[in-house]
Structure 1
Amino acid sequence: MPDNTDKTLYRKLVDAHTVATLDEQNVLLYVDLHLMNEYTSPQAFSGLDARARPVRRPRQQLAVVSHIIPTHAETPRVIRDAASLRQAVNLAHNCEKAGILLFAANDPLQGIEHIVAPELGLVRPGMTVLCGDSHTTTYGALGALGFGIGTSEVEHVLATQTLVYRLAQTMRITIDGTLPYGTTSKDLVLWLIAQIGAQGARGYAVEFAGTAFGALSAEARMTICNMTVEAGARAALIAPDATTLDYVRAHATMDEAAWHAAERDWSSLHTDAGAVFDAEFRFDASAVAPYVTWGTSPDQAIAVDALVPAADDAPTPEAAAATRRALDYIGLAPRVPIVGTPVDRVFIGSCTNGRIEDLRIVAALVRGRHVAAGVRAMVVPGSGSVRRQAEAEGLARVLIDAGFEWREPGCSMCLAMNDDVLVPGERCASTTNRNFEGRQGRGGRTHLMSPAMAAAAALTGRITDVRTLETHQ
């Protein structure tokens, strides 16, 4: 694309990082920051060793142990599962050999990569950030191009600090208006995915625009961008604004001269007025309600006061079959209210909703109340920093007094790669990003919702419209 044409924000970011144009659809993309965890990096390091190639730029890598680590309170933290321990040990060995910074099990900065990197000021507008994890789209909330890559691509990035990258199509989703009472960014993104479908943004880099996003905090925007991949998006972006700059300034280490120079550079990080997108959607935020999933895909979601859908109402035979399968797995009957469905477990955490803002919302709702009898509820902060801040603010004490388990940081029950798992048939109100069959444990039944909705479910023992509960400040 010629330099004198109007560009989308996505294209500006790609062009600024293009080392070479390979053909009309592919470029060699420079990578500013590469993040790793214990389960997607071992084969990449083995590939480098087999070719006797070093890591090209170790200081532009960061590794964490997060997915396989147990989160129950224990000092020091010990990984007792042999296979998981082997992954953690291998990562430590590889990072030490390559000179890569690692936040291991007992490092005070340990946590989930998508929470650790922004809070340490490592992600800034205009960057490219890659990780062997699909929810790397999170960083679009700060005006950075983030996306997940596969194991062979991890090896390529380690060896060259570049990636052979296929260009995405572009989509703009504009949402104006104000979110109604009782709704949050998690409700907004669940509602949006339900509107456009799990494949609605497949192959696209999505840019969000409109007054609804301007009103959201930086952390709330991270929730939006984190889950946009659940609509099939290859990237998610929100143009930097004052909210973005305030967040970055609070977390990044920069002297005044560097900061003002960066601000000048970042001022161009927006879509030009004449830029054309390949697809556009426009919605009104006033249509959003507290949302909850009823099935086994993030787009199988409804307003909390709606009825569970029936296969007979599906638009196609394929959709009808998917509905029947989902309802059979999740154990719900069609055409009945989803509100009131009993839950066994509540999980609040993950890279989607394990930030300090999320924990403040939960604490405000549960203060002076108690988890319902028979419900096991846990709160897992997304990082050691979040955990310490929650304890300093008194949030942890509120949660513990209310009957929640206060855990150590990690991915925990987001996925069944550690010892925080559902048993077959258990139903969980979860703030995670995926409700696939077996995602939280074989036979486990997951309902995605916001932290406020999950807290309401913990207090009542059932899926509850949070708008019916008063917040205790």
Structure 2
Amino acid sequence: MSKTLFDKVWDSHVVRSIDNGPDVLFIDRHLVHEVTSPVAFLGLKNRDIPVLYPERTFATADHNTPTRNQHLPVKDPLSAKQLKALEENAEKHSIPYWGLGHEKNGIVHVIGPENGITVPGATIVCGDSHTSTHGAFGAIAFGIGTSEVEMVLATQCIMQPKPKRMRINIKGSLSEAVTPKDVALYIISKLTTSGATGYFVEYAGSVFEQMSMEGRMTVCNLSIEMGARGGMIAPDEKTFDYIRGREYAPQGKAWDAAMKYWKTLYSDPNAIFDKEINFNGADIEPMITYGTNPGMGLSISRKIPKAETLDGGVATYKKSLEYMDFQEGESMLGKKIDFVFLGSCTNGRIEDFRAFAQVVEGRQKAANVTAWLVPGSHKVEQAIREEGILDILEAAGFELREPGCSACLAMNDDKIPQGKYAVSTSNRNFEGRQGPGARTLLASPLVAAAAAVTGEVTDPRELLKTALV
């Protein structure tokens, strides 16, 4: 019987199926951080239950960590308490823990892949919605709640209803300055933030085949923003080359055995999906959002749509524009901005810093812009230095911060002030997401870089085609 990639991985992990209920699913890798784990560990303590497979659990500090002076004590008392709790719980249960200053520290969805924890065919969970990132490797990965974190710690299993299957095909190639972030924002703008609710999405077609692993991670990361339970891409030689030799990846004969299995992970030719959607890569341009959810996005050269062109939700739409202080029919080009944020589990990898540097090299940061450039891990930070990217950034007037989630979600010191506009490479632009009253424009690293040197929303294609002296 023909199967989808999703079915192959899911079915191989089902411990037990409950009649007219969820499946009991075995979890291969469990990632934890300081925000959603303390209560889960407390639940274990209250019931005197150990972590069943500590070697399958990995802990890092990322969400509310400072991105400057990480060698000093954390000032915020709640953040300090959560970080201390994670450290103590990891030590108690013999869980690998990478805290502030550790060479492997970084954002949970960056360090998983770069250390070989994330592999094809695995089931991966974390108390964070953007766990879908790991699906780029052909894994089933999704976010879970605090009570589910406790369940996985105690049993290495979770009860989940099996989602429906959706495949999004994009054929052709991408045009200049169109990045994986633009592809994801384009899809969400077409499907809306609820268009994939109840589905697990497989991304297929030449556009995804041509993407780097970093790019695939960006796309899968944003699957949750269109309502999907997760997203995945079939592993190929790029996937295997990325994983090979990483610390927690299989080695020697174990690698050979893993490769034999991994090469079976694709959707069979006659596999049936509950829904299929097709796009053309040539139709995608650099994107930017103008509202208060990731689905409110458009090609950077287009104008904000008018309410009369919408299919319902007019009151909410107008409320969103009022919050952003934008008008229907306005162009996004030329909008003045105050902050630029490069980073997060969406765009905090080395490829993103390379793209940003490509635009700012030979230019200067706009005087009216505050820029927070935050690598996703210490390994990314090291690569930035080794590749000479830091020299380019500093020459252009930028400062590199230390790893962490930073301004993605305003759980740390990096908050956008009320009423200020931030071009952000993160994943959500909800009201107050980056700080109370903050106004967020989601974009790619190229669009963020163009805004950082011009002080306004700028089409990066205009800067990339300009020859620099």
Check whether TM > 0.5.
Answer: yes
Of the three residues 372, 377, 386, the one matched with 2:371 is 377
Of the three residues 42, 46, 49, the one matched with 1:50 is 46
Contact 1:77 1:105 in 2 (8 A): no
CA-to-partner distance for each residue in 1:104-155, whole Å, 9 max, x for gaps? 1121211100000100011110101100000000011001110000000000
Does the residue aligned with 1:228 lie in a helix, a strand or coil?
A: helix
Residue of structure 1 equivalent to 2:230? 235
State the one-letter code of the partner of 2:28.
Answer: D
Residue of structure 2 equivalent to 1:421? 415
Q: Which moved more, 1:396-405 or 1:111-120?
A: 396-405
1:149 and 1:254 map into 2 onto residues whose CA distance is: 26
1:46 and 1:324 map into 2 onto residues whose CA distance is: 44
1:91 and 1:255 map into 2 onto residues whose CA distance is: 30
State the one-letter code of the partner of 1:374.
Answer: N
State the one-letter code of the partner of 2:77.
Answer: A
Residue of structure 1 equivalent to 2:192? 197
Q: 1:456 and 1:63, CA in 2 relative to 1: closer, same or farther beyond 3 A? A: same
Of the three residues 21, 26, 30, the one matched with 2:22 is 26
Q: Shift of the alpha carbon at 1:45?
A: 0.6
Q: Shift of the alpha carbon at 1:368?
A: 1.2
State the one-letter code of the partner of 1:441.
Answer: G
CA-to-partner distance for each residue in 1:342-393, whole Å, 9 max, x for gaps? 0000000000000001111111211111111111112100001100111111
Q: Shift of the alpha carbon at 1:256?
A: 3.4
Residue of structure 2 equivalent to 1:187? 182
Of the three residues 347, 351, 355, the one matched with 1:353 is 347
Contact 2:409 2:433 in 1 (8 A): yes
Instruction: Kindly indicate whether residue 149 of structure 2 is the aligned counterpart of residue 135 of structure 1.
Output: no
Q: Which moved more, 1:270-279 or 1:337-346?
A: 270-279
Q: Shift of the alpha carbon at 1:75?
A: 5.5
State the one-letter code of the partner of 1:307.
Answer: K
Q: Which moved more, 1:331-340 or 1:223-232?
A: 331-340
Does the residue aligned with 1:436 lie in a helix, a strand or coil?
A: coil
Q: Which moved more, 1:250-259 or 1:445-454?
A: 250-259
CA-to-partner distance for each residue in 1:271-292, whole Å, 9 max, x for gaps? 1122111111011111000000
How does 1:356-367 map onto structure 2 within 5 Å? Answer: 356-367=350-361
Residue of structure 2 equivalent to 1:411? 405
Does the residue aligned with 2:79 lie in a helix, a strand or coil?
A: helix
Instruction: Kindly indicate whether residue 321 of structure 2 is the aligned counterpart of residue 327 of structure 1.
Output: yes
State the one-letter code of the partner of 1:181.
Answer: E
Q: Shift of the alpha carbon at 1:77?
A: 4.0
Contact 2:127 2:143 in 1 (8 A): yes
Unaligned runs of 5+ in 2: none
Does the residue aligned with 1:140 lie in a helix, a strand or coil?
A: helix
Residue of structure 1 equivalent to 2:169? 174
1:104 and 1:374 map into 2 onto residues whose CA distance is: 34
Instruction: Kindly indicate whether residue 456 of structure 2 is the aligned counterpart of residue 462 of structure 1.
Output: yes
Instruction: Kindly indicate whether residue 240 of structure 2 is the aligned counterpart of residue 248 of structure 1.
Output: no
Instruction: Kindly indicate whether residue 333 of structure 2 is the aligned counterpart of residue 339 of structure 1.
Output: yes
Of the three residues 196, 203, 208, the one matched with 2:203 is 208
Does the residue aligned with 2:201 lie in a helix, a strand or coil?
A: strand
- Number of positions where the alignment pairs a residue of Structure 1 with one of Structure 2: 466
Instruction: Kindly indicate whether residue 158 of structure 2 is the aligned counterpart of residue 163 of structure 1.
Output: yes
Q: Shift of the alpha carbon at 1:405?
A: 2.2
Residue of structure 1 equivalent to 2:119? 124
After superposing on structure 2, the runs of 4+ consecutive aligned residues of structure 1 that deviate more than 6 Å are none
Instruction: Kindly indicate whether residue 63 of structure 2 is the aligned counterpart of residue 67 of structure 1.
Output: yes
Residue of structure 2 equivalent to 1:296? 292
CA-to-partner distance for each residue in 1:65-119, whole Å, 9 max, x for gaps? 10111102x2514311011101101111111111111111121211100000100
Contact 1:377 1:403 in 2 (8 A): no
Residue of structure 1 equivalent to 2:307? 311
State the one-letter code of the partner of 1:146.
Answer: A
1:187 and 1:25 map into 2 onto residues whose CA distance is: 38
Could you tell me the percent identity over the aligned residues?
45
2:353 and 2:270 map into 1 onto residues whose CA distance is: 41
1:352 and 1:327 map into 2 onto residues whose CA distance is: 25
Instruction: Kindly indicate whether residue 74 of structure 2 is the aligned counterpart of residue 79 of structure 1.
Output: yes
Contact 1:153 1:163 in 2 (8 A): yes
Does the residue aligned with 1:469 lie in a helix, a strand or coil?
A: helix
2:404 and 2:199 map into 1 onto residues whose CA distance is: 30
Residue of structure 2 equivalent to 1:150? 145
CA-to-partner distance for each residue in 1:398-449, whole Å, 9 max, x for gaps? 1122122210000000011000001110100000000000000000000000
State the one-letter code of the partner of 1:47.
Answer: G
CA-to-partner distance for each residue in 1:16-57, whole Å, 9 max, x for gaps? 111111124421111100000100011101111111111111
Does the residue aligned with 2:244 lie in a helix, a strand or coil?
A: helix
State the one-letter code of the partner of 2:113.
Answer: P
Does the residue aligned with 2:255 lie in a helix, a strand or coil?
A: helix
2:205 and 2:161 map into 1 onto residues whose CA distance is: 28
Q: Which moved more, 1:55-64 or 1:396-405?
A: 396-405
